[in-house]
Structure 1
Amino acid sequence: MVGPSGGIKRILVVDDSSTVCNFISAGLSDEGFQAINALSMKDALLLNGDQIHVVLTDIFMPDMDGFEGIAEIRRRWKNVSVIAMSGGFNGVGRDDTLIKARRCGADVVLQKPFKIERLVEKINYLLQKRSAAQGQRLRVLVVEDSGVQRKVISRMIESCGYEVYDAETMEAALESSDIIGVDLLVTDIFMPGEGGLVGIGKIRNIWPNIRVIAMSGGWSDAMAGEQTLKAAGIVGADATLKKPFTREALEGAIGKALQ
């Protein structure tokens, strides 16, 4: 696969099962990538990271596990993207495992078994993200269940010169590949399903580097509204906005969130 910046893209596959390594490598080769196998994280770290674009690693392995390995990759190979994969969770809860992998530095987590097409989609996304890193505009994800408000807020943010993505619910935002590489989340608090407060807490656990602005409005009780925004700050929002708001208020909140 020739990536956005040219050249064949090399994918390092790390798994203690040779069967898994060979299966994934064959699928990646069919898609035009150059796949390199390593049966342990220690073997993987002996390679030259400057020649690798993406590492796909199992989480639970003998000797050095994926958590420790991902952290070491992040320390040694600054420009390599990391995808963590796992099937069995060794008695550790699925959510805890995924959160820990994120905290160690994984860009994407995949649960086994997965289709090669899904893996290729994630790899291509990470390659495009990496190639656009220089001079990339701030990436903002807007989560708002009202289609009209979502469009208005997105256009307002775009007019500030930012790259904008949107989602109707917090569940959709958390499942979307758009959240990969997002710098700022602007979310409503009260929405159907999983609301903003719960979502902000999850964002803080899984993607601690994403800045968060919480917004809400239309309260009949002003005191209750202030308490709602205060609660958003407690669970992890970096700034809050009372709807409706002006572009100037939005710019001020963005500046505060990014401090």
Structure 2
Amino acid sequence: MTQNVLVLEDSKTQARIVETLLIKAGTTVHIANDRLEALQKLKAHTFQLIVLDVFIGQDDSLDHLEAFRALAPNTPIAVMTAGQRDRPLAASQALNRARRSDVDFLLPKPFDLDDIRQICDEAGRIQRRKGPVKRILVIDDDAHSRIIYRNFLEDEGFYVAESPSVEDALLRLEMTRIDAVLTDIVMGGIGGLTGIKIINATWPAIPIIAMTAYLKNSDVLQDAMLKGAKLSIRKPFNQLQLLQVVNRAMAKDNDDNTVLI
């Protein structure tokens, strides 16, 4: 669990809300009301997580990330911003801006204790890993499957985040800095095909791997690739097969779209 957290928030009401949630999550919280105060605290203390509101008075926190990174180069940064959970396209645009700004997490408002705990846990996982780590986001509405795929990938040194739906994935805290997406196709909500289209349109450089056990329509995986998936794989698959497709998807010299049986 993350221990020492710096929060930059100029609204006293919002600062109290965030502080209360972080304390309930088991952290020690330092509140800064402006950018200069936050930088001073970074000089005086070591933090395991930095939480920034986007707009602090006339300041845009994303314009000053280099200063925060210079003082805390290995500390994960989460950015608080207004979320639109019922509008995934609008939310993905906010995430895209955060990605370009090289933040670790996006924390859409309103958020709750579970969101805070998730950020703290993930920040701890990031700091415990040494050296650059490839990040995979797994989207599947079956929790058991997500656990299996996570174990497969983490055994090989990948950092793995999970989402039960495309809607959740588009607001994932890790979505700002992932290296590949592994997504099921047949799910509730907007579904995998639409999700692939949205993710590919917003982050075209991120390879998407589509997967399904739904064989009634034999062209479903080809449809996924037409929507923007780089590779596709049929369930069930073993660890070696998954690692092969993930490594192929992330290979810079691999431009062909393939269905792996």
- Normalising by structure 1, report the TM-score: 0.66
Tell me what 1:241 maps to.
Answer: 233
Determine the C-alpha separation between the residues in 2 that align with 1:248 and 1:106. Answer: 32
Answer whether contact 2:139 2:146 (CA < 8 A) is retained.
no
Specify whether residues 113 and 171 from structure 1 end up closer, same or farther in structure 2 by C-alpha distance, changes over 3 A only. Answer: closer
Tell me what 2:254 maps to.
Answer: none
Specify whether residues 37 and 205 from structure 1 end up closer, same or farther in structure 2 by C-alpha distance, changes over 3 A only. Answer: farther
Kindly provide the CA deviation profile for residues 52-76 of structure 1, in whole angstroms up to 9, marking residues without a partner as x: 2211111122343122234653465
Determine the C-alpha separation between the residues in 1 that align with 2:66 and 2:23. Answer: 27
1:36 to 20, 30, 37: 30
Describe how 1:116-127 pairs up with structure 2 within 5 A: 117-118=113-114, 120-127=116-123
Please state how far the C-alpha of 1:106 moved relative to its aligned partner.
3.1
The one-letter amino acid of 2:246's match is: I
Determine the C-alpha separation between the residues in 1 that align with 2:197 and 2:126. Answer: 27
Determine the C-alpha separation between the residues in 2 that align with 1:78 and 1:204. Answer: 30
Cα RMSD over matched residues? 4.5
The one-letter amino acid of 1:14's match is: L
1:82 to 74, 77, 86: 77
Specify whether residues 124 and 226 from structure 1 end up closer, same or farther in structure 2 by C-alpha distance, changes over 3 A only. Answer: closer
Answer whether contact 1:11 1:36 (CA < 8 A) is retained.
yes
Higher relative contact order (CA 8 A, sep 6+): 2
Determine the C-alpha separation between the residues in 1 that align with 2:150 and 2:78. Answer: 32
Tell me what 2:190 maps to.
Answer: 194
2:57 alignment partner, SS class = coil
Answer whether contact 1:11 1:54 (CA < 8 A) is retained.
yes
Tell me what 2:245 maps to.
Answer: 253
Specify whether residues 181 and 125 from structure 1 end up closer, same or farther in structure 2 by C-alpha distance, changes over 3 A only. Answer: farther
Structure 1: gaps (5+ residues): none
Kindly provide the CA deviation profile for residues 18-57 of structure 1, in whole angstroms up to 9, marking residues without a partner as x: 4443554466457653322222224423432871221111
Tell me what 2:103 maps to.
Answer: 106
- Normalising by structure 2, report the TM-score: 0.65
Please state how far the C-alpha of 1:246 moved relative to its aligned partner.
6.8
Kindly provide the CA deviation profile for residues 138-197 of structure 1, in whole angstroms up to 9, marking residues without a partner as x: 66554445789x489749946974777765543354566787986543223343322223
Tell me what 1:56 maps to.
Answer: 51
The one-letter amino acid of 1:133's match is: R
1:171 alignment partner, SS class = helix
Tell me what 1:231 maps to.
Answer: 226
1:11 maps onto 2:5 in alignment: yes
Kindly provide the CA deviation profile for residues 205-245 of structure 1, in whole angstroms up to 9, marking residues without a partner as x: 77788643123563656xx557424314xx3x342335666
Describe how 1:170-189 pairs up with structure 2 within 5 A: 170-174=166-170, 184-189=180-185
Structure 2: gaps (5+ residues): 85-89, 252-261
Please state how far the C-alpha of 1:11 moved relative to its aligned partner.
1.4
The one-letter amino acid of 2:245's match is: A
1:228 alignment partner, SS class = helix
